C-alpha cells in the first residue's frame, strides 16, 4: 500500500529549470554564463529527482498541493510522485544534462542563430515535462501537457524559415487540436462521473462507475494522448515534419519529452483513470491496440524507404511509441511492465541515434543515408555509437532495449494475442532491416571516388561525448536494469 508523504522535492525539481529561464535570458550576451546556468539547472534537477528514489522505492508517494481548487471546481493543482512518474523523471532529467552538452557542440559547430532563445525554451519544456511526470490528477496532467506543446513549438520553428513555419503549424495543429477535441470533453465527463475527484492513486478514478458512456470516454482520453504526442496513425505527420528543427530539438522531441509524454499519459489513463480490470471489462482498449499494431508495421515499412536519416529515425520513433501503447493495451502485468521500461530503454537508444545523425551533419554536412558510404572509417566513434543505438531500438543484446521488448512479447503471449505477438517480432526484424544497412554502408562500403572521406573527422567533442555516454548507458541498462524494474513493478506488482 502506498503511503503519501508531503514533500517539496518535486516542486524544486520543476523549478530548477523554470528559474533558469530568466537567467539564461539575462546572460544572453555572456555565452559561457548562459550555458553554465543551463548545466547547473540540469544538474540540480537531476539531483532533486535522485533524492526521491529512497522514499518512492520504499513504498511512499511524494505529494504536494499548490491550489486546492478554483472557480467553484474542487480539483487541486497537485504533484504526486509514484514509481511511473519517478522513472519518467529520471529519464528526462538525466538526458537533459547530456542533451544540453550536445546542444552546445551542435549549435556552436553550426553557428546557429538565436541560441539564447533555444536554451530558454529548452529549459521551459523540461519543467513542463516533469510537471506531467509528477501530475497528481487529471487536470494537472492536462495543463502541463498543453504547456509542453506551447513551450516546444518555438523550438520546432527555431530556424524561422518557410519549412520551419510549416512544420510548426502542423506541429501545433496536431498537438493542440487533437488534445482539445478529445481530452477536454473526456475530462469533463470523468469529472462528473467521479463526483469531482480526478486524483491519481489508490483505486482508479472510474473503477466504481457504471458503464454507460465509459467505453467512448476511454477511447477519447486514449486518443487525445495517443493521437497527438504519441504519433499514432493517421495523426502522425507532425512528427517527421518536426525534423526541420535543430537535431538537439529532434532528440528532445523523439527521445525525452514530447512523444514520451504522450505514451506516459496513455499509461496513466489505463492504470489510474480506468484501471486494467475495468478496461478489460469494457474492451475499450482493443481498437487502440489494433491501431497501434498497424502503426508499428506501417511506420517500419515507411522508414525503410526514407533516405533522409532524421526522417528514417522519425518513422522509427512512431513505431516504437506504438510498442508502448500496444503493450499497455494488453492489460497484463508483464506487458505493462515492458511498456513502462521501454520508455527508458527506447529513450537512451533513440537519443543516441539522433545525436549521431546530428554529429554526422556537423562534421560532414551530410544528412542522407545514401551519402554515408565509408564514413565509419572517418568517424568510428559516432558510427559505433549508432550501431549500439540501433541494437537497442531493435532489441538485441547486450542493450537495454532487449529487456523491455522481451517483457512486451511475454505480455502478448500471456494475453493469448498471438497476432499481436507476431507484430512485435516482425517489427523487430524490420527495425534491423532499416538500421543495419546504415552501419554496413559506413564501415564496409568504399567511399565514392569523387567524394573521399579522408578530409572528414569526428564532430566536436561536445557532440561526441554525449552520444558516447548514451550509447554506453544503453549497454549498462542491459546489465543493470534493477532500478527501472523496481519502479515499474511498483505499478504492476510483479517480480523478475
Highest mean pLDDT among 47-56, 223-232, 282-291, 319-328: 47-56
Sign of CA dihedral 162, 164, 167, 168: negative
pLDDT mean across residues, the chain: 86
Give the residue with greater pLDDT, 8 vs 222.
8
Q: Is the pLDDT of residue 373 over 70?
A: yes
Q: Is the pLDDT of residue 430 over 80?
A: yes
Q: Is the pLDDT of residue 496 over 60?
A: no
Other CB atoms within a 10 A radius of the CB of residue 351 amount to: 29
Candidates 385, 398, 372, 262; CA nearest to 317 is 262
Question: What are the boundaries of each domain within the chain?
Answer: 1-273, 284-496
Overall average pLDDT of the 68-92 stretch: 85
Overall average pLDDT of the 174-178 stretch: 73
Round to whole Å and give the CA distance between 255 and 344: 9
Sign of CA dihedral 217, 218, 221, 222: negative
Integer CA distances (angstroms), 50 to 44, 47, 176, 296, 410, in order: 10, 5, 32, 33, 30
- Per residue in 348-360, pLDDT tens? 999 999 999 999 9
As a whole-number percent, the residues of the chain with pLDDT over 70 amount to 89
Residue 37: HSE in the Cβ half-sphere, 13 Å Cα cutoff: 21
Take residue 88 and report the three cell numbers written for it: 519518467
Query: 92 with 125: CB under 8 angstroms?
Result: no
pTM score, whole prediction: 0.92
Amino acid at each position: 500500500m502506498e503511503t503519501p508523504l508531503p514533500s517539496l522535492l518535486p516542486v524544486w525539481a520543476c523549478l530548477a529549470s523554470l528559474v533558469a529561464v530568466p537567467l539564461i535570458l539575462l546572460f544572453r550576451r555572456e555565452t559561457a554564463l548562459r550555458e553554465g546556468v543551463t548545466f547547473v539547472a540540469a544538474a540540480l534537477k537531476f539531483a532533486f529527482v535522485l533524492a526521491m528514489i529512497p522514499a518512492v522505492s520504499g513504498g511512499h508517494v511524494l505529494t504536494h498541493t499548490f491550489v486546492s481548487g478554483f472557480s467553484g471546481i474542487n480539483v487541486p493543482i497537485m504533484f504526486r510522485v509514484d514509481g511511473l512518474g519517478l522513472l519518467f523523471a529520471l529519464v528526462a532529467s538525466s538526458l537533459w544534462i547530456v542533451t544540453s552538452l550536445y546542444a552546445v557542440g551542435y549549435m556552436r559547430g553550426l553557428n546557429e542563430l538565436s541560441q539564447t532563445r533555444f536554451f530558454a525554451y529548452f529549459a521551459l519544456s523540461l519543467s513542463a515535462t516533469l510537471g506531467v511526470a509528477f501530475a497528481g490528477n487529471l487536470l494537472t496532467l492536462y495543463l502541463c501537457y498543453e504547456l509542453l506543446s506551447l513551450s516546444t513549438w518555438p523550438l520546432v520553428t527555431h530556424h524561422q524559415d518557410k519549412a520551419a513555419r510549416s512544420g510548426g503549424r502542423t506541429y501545433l495543429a496536431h498537438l493542440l487540436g487533437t488534445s482539445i477535441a478529445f481530452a477536454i470533453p473526456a475530462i469533463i465527463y470523468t469529472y462528473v462521473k467521479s463526483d469531482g475527484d480526478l486524483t491519481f492513486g489508490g483505486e482508479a478514478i472510474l473503477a466504481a462507475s457504471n458503464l454507460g458512456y465509459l467505453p467512448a470516454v476511454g477511447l477519447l482520453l486514449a486518443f487525445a494522448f495517443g493521437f497527438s504526442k504519441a504519433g499514432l496513425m493517421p495523426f502522425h505527420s507532425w512528427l517527421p515534419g518536426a525534423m526541420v528543427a535543430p537535431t538537439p530539438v529532434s532528440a528532445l522531441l523523439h527521445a525525452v519529452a514530447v512523444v514520451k509524454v504522450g505514451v506516459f499519459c496513455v499509461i496513466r489513463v489505463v492504470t489510474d483513470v480506468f484501471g486494467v480490470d475495468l478496461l478489460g471489462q469494457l474492451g475499450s482498449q482493443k481498437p487502440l491496440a489494433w491501431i497501434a499494431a498497424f502503426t508499428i508495421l506501417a511506420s517500419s515499412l515507411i522508414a525503410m524507404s526514407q533516405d533522409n536519416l532524421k526522417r528514417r529515425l522519425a518513422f522509427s520513433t512512431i513505431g516504437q511509441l506504438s510498442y508502448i501503447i500496444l503493450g499497455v493495451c494488453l492489460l497484463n502485468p508483464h506487458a505493462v511492465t515492458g511498456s513502462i521500461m521501454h520508455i527508458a530503454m527506447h529513450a537512451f537508444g533513440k537519443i543516441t541515434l539522433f545525436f549521431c545523425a546530428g554529429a554526422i551533419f556537423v562534421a560532414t554536412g551530410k544528412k542522407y543515408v545514401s551519402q554515408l558510404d565509408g564514413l565509419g572509417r572517418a568517424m568510428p566513434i559516432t558510427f559505433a555509437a549508432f550501431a549500439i543505438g540501433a541494437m537497442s531500438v531493435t532489441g538485441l543484446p547486450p542493450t537495454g532495449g532487449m529487456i523491455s521488448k522481451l517483457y512486451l512479447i511475454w505480455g502478448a503471449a500471456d494475453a493469448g494475442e498471438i497476432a499481436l505477438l507476431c507484430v512485435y517480432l516482425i517489427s523487430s526484424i524490420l527495425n534491423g532491416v532499416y538500421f543495419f544497412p546504415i552501419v554496413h554502408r559506413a564501415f564496409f562500403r568504399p567511399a565514392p571516388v569523387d567524394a573521399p572521406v579522408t578530409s572528414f573527422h569526428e564532430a566536436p567533442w561536445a557532440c561526441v561525448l554525449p552520444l558516447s555516454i548514451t550509447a554506453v548507458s544503453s549497454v549498462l541498462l542491459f546489465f543493470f536494469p534493477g532500478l527501472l524494474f523496481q519502479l515499474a513493478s511498483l505499478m504492476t506488482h510483479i517480480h523478475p
